[in-house]
Amino acid sequence: MKEASNRYILSIAGLDPSAGAGLTSDIKTFEAFGNYGLSVCTSVTIQNDIDFKASHWVETNIILDQIDILFDRFTIEVVKIGVVRNWDTLATIVDRLKIHNPAIKIILDPILKASAGYEFNENSNSSILDNILQRICMITPNYQEIQLLYPAKTIRETIAHITRHTNLYLKGGHNETEKGTDVVYINGKKPLVLSPRLSTVYEKHGSGCVLSSALAASIASGLTLEDSSRKAKQYTEQFLASNQGLLGTHQSFSLQKHSL
């Protein structure tokens, strides 16, 4: 028997032993929004909140088997994808998701390099990436990642290129001119600028994963992309302000109790 509910959200990402990023961080975020997090592992990493040693990639056929057995049991409308080995693997994953649910909403968090300098993605075939972008709901790079997606282009050119294919949430944590200001590009509309609302926040391991997961959880709850982006920003700031350490605390987040 298949379970049908918008409370199930799937994370396809890496396993971080510190639980600050990747699968475990995504699931904590989903559950803070009242959802149930399902997970498919793409990589077993050797890391903690300050040090990254290695990524041991899960074979593509095993990733697909994990996806298949979850869709056999659950109705999944929204999926968040984190680190993958390369664009070829990602394209295969997207193909399989679309077979199971042609209308599935995919949020792609393009994790290309760890803060410690380890590079994840093994190739940069732009034609494959173009095809992927056409089939997803939104991509959520930060200012460092967006420069690596299309290295031959400027940031402005890359924004224009991406938004011809899909929606873009550009995370502002690495924005040197306006720290913490996010910009969201949706369906050719005027960019939505999300400025910081809290005066005191602290750097957190995995904050990019948290924002993308909060975005997925808000979309699964039926909010528009604009309102989902606002909620994701609010939740991430709550996470950043939760304590002074590198590992943040996830707190229950009611969509009704926070103004848009």
Provide the phi-psi class of 8: left if phi over 0, else alpha when psi is between -120 and 50, else beta: beta
- Residue owning tokens 């606002």: 230
Residue 176 has pLDDT above 70, yes or no: no
pLDDT at residue 86 in the model: 92
Q: Is pLDDT larger for residue 213 or for residue 178?
A: 213
CATH number of residue 107's parent domain: 3.40.1190.20
Query: Is the Cβ–Cβ distance between 25 and 19 less than 8 Å?
Result: yes
Question: Of 89, 107, 142, 138, whose CA–CA distance to 29 is shortest?
Answer: 107
Do the bridges between strand 182-185 and strand 167-170 make them parallel or antiparallel, or are there none, so unpaired? antiparallel
Residue 59 has pLDDT above 90, yes or no: yes
Angle between helical axes of 225-240 and 207-220 (0-180°, round to 10): 140
Q: Is residue 198 part of a domain?
A: yes
Give the domain range for residue 179. Answer: 8-241
- For residues 38-51, average pLDDT: 96
Residue 259 has pLDDT above 90, yes or no: no
- For residues 38-52, average pLDDT: 96
**What mean pLDDT, rounded, does the chain reach?**
91
Residue 240 has pLDDT above 60, yes or no: yes
Q: Is residue 246 part of a domain?
A: no
Q: Is residue 234 part of a domain?
A: yes
Q: Is residue 214 part of a domain?
A: yes
pLDDT at residue 112 in the model: 79
pLDDT at residue 119 in the model: 59
Q: Is residue 252 part of a domain?
A: no
Q: Is residue 251 part of a domain?
A: no
pLDDT digits over 179-194, tens only? 789 999 999 899 999 9
pLDDT digits over 16-31, tens only? 999 999 999 999 999 9
Tokens of 74: 């659950």
* Confidence band for 74, pLDDT divided at 50, 70 and 90: very high
| Distance between CA atoms of residues 35 and 38, nearest Å | 10
pLDDT at residue 256 in the model: 73
Q: Is residue 250 part of a domain?
A: no
pLDDT at residue 180 in the model: 84
- For residues 190-203, average pLDDT: 92
Residue 204 is given by DSSP the state -
Residue 139 has φ and ψ, to the nearest 5°, of: -115, 145
* Confidence band for 58, pLDDT divided at 50, 70 and 90: very high
pLDDT at residue 199 in the model: 83
pLDDT digits over 83-141, tens only? 999 999 999 999 999 999 999 999 999 987 655 455 566 556 789 999 999 999 999 99
Task: State the total domains in the chain.
Answer: 1
Q: Is residue 172 part of a domain?
A: yes
- For residues 184-211, average pLDDT: 93
- What percent of the chain is modeled with pLDDT above 70? 90
Query: Is the Cβ–Cβ distance between 78 and 51 less than 8 Å?
Result: no
Please tell me the pTM assigned to this model. 0.93
